[in-house]
Amino acid sequence: MTCPDLNTPAPHPTIPEDARDVLSSDDIARALRRIGHEILERNKGAADLVLLGIPSRGVPLAQRLGAAIEAVEGVAVPVGELDVTLHRDDLRRQPTRAAHRSRIPETGIDDKVVVLVDDVLYSGRTIRAALDALSELGRPRAVRLAVLVDRGHRELPIRADHVGKNLPTSRDERVHVRLSELDGLDVVRISGGEGR
């Protein structure tokens, strides 16, 4: 098996020209503010929260959620990133997928309420890998999941606790998330599918 390269960023497909917008920059900002409020409500405040973004785009989303929570509560929530690459069940099929390094806040995750953050939830396999990666790092009191887009088609018994937008899709469509920190603009588009 080829080992993933730690330094080479994963290639990302360009968005086809016929893609249509599903979330604008303002929509994304509103969704993240709402999710921030939901997380605080569910957790009854910011105590013991740790946000972990899943690379690539889960990382800036986790940082934005941290900022949104801080704006409401006035306290900084630890934010880190959790690489799941080596825990994926499709590593043999996609051996060139780049590995990142996990960055866990100094607070650690033991007895914390960890909120995993990702851009798209689809089969659920990335989140399964995230739970596997997390179990090597400690024992959170609870693990929750926040995603910007849930496009359905789960292949595993995994669900999100906080969703920016539920987007019914067909399997031959693709959801493209672009974020200013990595891509220079904020937008969610969808491409492919019958008649599009």
Ligand X SMILES: O=c1cc[nH]c(=O)[nH]1
Residues that bind ligand PRP (CB under 6 A): 10, 54, 56-57, 118-126
List, as one string, the DSSP characters of 155-196.
SSS---SEEEEE----TTEEEEEE-HHHHSS-EEEEEESTT-
Angle, alpha carbons 81-84-88 (nearest 5°): 170
How far apart CA 155 and CA 169 sit, in angstroms, is: 15
Peptide bond between residue 56 and the one before it cis (omega within 30 degrees of 0) = yes
- Partner from ligand PRP, ligand X, none binding residue 175, C-beta < 5-8 Å depending on class: ligand X
What is the nearest approach in angstroms of ligand X to the Cβ of residue 26? 21
Question: Which residue in 169, 188, 162 sits closest to 49, CA to CA?
Answer: 162
Contacts 24+ apart (CB under 8 A), 69-72: 69/36, 69/39, 69/40, 71/36, 72/36, 72/37, 72/40
Residue 112 interacts, among ligand PRP, ligand X, none and using kind-specific CB cut-offs from 5 to 8 Å, with none
Identify what 10 binds: ligand PRP, ligand X, none; CB under 5 to 8 Å per kind: ligand PRP
Which residue in 158, 110, 118 sits closest to 134, CA to CA? Answer: 110
Question: Nearer to ligand PRP by C-beta: 46 or 178?
Answer: 178
Q: Which is nearer to ligand X, 127 or 143 (CB)?
A: 127
Q: Which is nearer to ligand PRP, 45 or 193 (CB)?
A: 193
Q: Which residues bind ligand X (CB under 6 A)?
A: 120, 122, 151, 174-175
| Residue 151 binding target from ligand PRP, ligand X, none, CB below 5 to 8 Å by type | ligand X
- Minimum distance from residue 151 beta carbon to ligand X (Å): 6
- Least Å distance, CB 106 to ligand PRP, is 25
Choose from ligand X, ligand PRP, none: what does 43 bind? Cβ within 5-8 Å by kind: none
Distance CA 72, CA 145 (A): 20
Minimum CB separation of residue 123 from ligand X in Å reads 8
**Shortest CB 194 distance to ligand PRP, Å:** 21
Out of ligand PRP, ligand X, none, what residue 39 binds, judged by CB under 5 to 8 A for its kind, is: none
Joined tokens for residue 87: 């825990």
CB of 108 to ligand PRP, least distance (A): 24
Q: How far apart are CA 165 and CA 27, in angstroms?
A: 9
